[in-house]
Structure 1
Amino acid sequence: MIPLLKPANTLPGALQYYVAAELLDDPSAINLSPGGGMPADTVHLPAARVVLSLTCVASPMFRNKVHDLARDSAIDVILLRCCLTPGDILPIMADVTLAGGGLAPFDMHDLSLYRHPDRMLWLVPQGFGGAIRLSHGGAELCLVPPYETRVERADGIYRSASELAALLYPSKTN
């Protein structure tokens, strides 16, 4: 186990902390879990029954590895894809395979981080359809997304990006 410390201005550290803090009651320790062809920034969050991995490699790289790891270990696997770009918003996409509890693996691709006004963190599709709620219980598939309009969806994605930016670039006055 290694401590999951508040990040020191690194994108992988900030993103890992941001998502792991949602999945764990106490994000003070995680298990490193590299190997099996997954990216080096891969951790196992046993309390949430989730493997969380980060890469800046474009889709579809690692999709088969995510699916195979989820199927073989009967655990949910979340791969976050993120690279710094000169744009106004930090693009983050997720590939997820849900296989917790030994169920048949269920894949979802190209999901975005979304912060609901009720403070729950979600992975949501490009439009409407199934979404994944991230909480202390792990990753939960919901058939209806947490928004009613594309404007609400955009607001939630901007909320999430803003929170991540605050972790990545903390204010000097705090």
Structure 2
Amino acid sequence: MTRYVALSRGINVGRHRRVPMPTLREWLADLGCAEVRAYPRSGNAVFVPPSGGTGPDAWGEALERAIAERLSPDVRVLVLEGDELCRVAARIPFSSRDIDSAQLLVTFLSGPVDRARLADLDPAAYAPDQLHVGEREVYVHCPDGVRRSRLTQALWERRLGLFGTARDGNTVRALAAMVTSDEPR
């Protein structure tokens, strides 16, 4: 049984486009998904898709359509296989002993990173922030806080031409735990 993780960008941010997590679970259940669990107040969910062979991209599009019909057409959703999210969490390049997880930002991208498009990026220009580029994700340690960082998903989207959505280290680790747990949430 393959679990997927839906990362919604544009809901439950600020006061606009609020979606209670029971509602998000209901929308996924309406699409035929099972074992739907949502991370509190986040727009993130773990679910088992119905059998039928559609992949994560198709599920992201389906959830975007469901949200557009009920809420707003400009909400984007990135869906990953649960194993991929767990690999991203396991590869966090900064030691948890050295940093606060709330100061870690992981931007998940809709496709692989083309490193040539980042060749002229000077990490020293963004100090004290530190970055590490993964396969389909970018890890940023923001010692002055994620809100002050200039290494944002918008930067990665412009440079790489990909859709991205960012989560802090606490959320990434919690979602990985949800993927591997059989306990309902």
Larger Rg: 1 or 2? 2
Higher relative contact order (CA 8 A, sep 6+): 2
Scaled to the shorter chain, the TM-score interval is 0.3 to 0.5
Choose between structure 1 and 2: higher helix proportion.
Answer: 2
Calculate the TM-score normalised by the size of structure 2.
Answer: 0.33
